[in-house]
Amino acid sequence: MCKMVYAWSNNTVFLRHACQVIALAGKMGVSAAYSMIFVFSTELIPTVVRNMGLGVVSTAAHISTIICPYVIYTGVYSKILPYLVFGTISIMAAAITMLLPDTRNSKLPDLIRQAKTIRGCCCPKETAAAQPQLKRL
């Protein structure tokens, strides 16, 4: 984004301020998304496995922060590559987030079977009534 601002303007004072605003807006968005991971994921995960699920979410978030400098280092080979990687991952995450169920005004699930299914999931939810009964001989 800052490179686009550089291309459109000849005023160096405007460039410096515009890049600072864009960078701070990006940092604010990343911080908000990172904090919402923990809020939203606890609403989706049932109580009996919530600690384990929150640990998995936290581990995934920390692994991504470990990998981030290496992705930035790929800018040595191609200046646009880090932007492509981060942009592609962000768009994919936003698209996958659309599949998550809406939790507004709903009770938090206590048991695993009370958890809402993910939209578009090809796994049908089986109930006790739908399972075949074994016949006694």
| Measured torsion, CA atoms of residues 5, 7, 12, 18, in degrees rounded to the nearest 10 | 0
40-49, 71-80, 103-112, 124-133: the lowest-pLDDT one: 124-133
Angstrom CA distances, 23 to 16, 45, 83, 122, stand at: 11, 33, 14, 40
Average pLDDT over residues 40-44: 81
Mean pLDDT of the chain: 77
Give the tens place of pLDDT for each residue, 95-137. Answer: 888 887 777 787 877 887 877 666 655 555 554 444 455 445 4
Number of helices followed by number of strands (H, E) in the chain: 4, 0
Neighbouring residues of 6: CB distance < 8 A, sequence distance ≥ 6: 15, 19
pLDDT tens string 3-24: 555 555 566 777 777 778 887 8
Count other C-beta atoms under 10 Å from residue 109's C-beta.
19
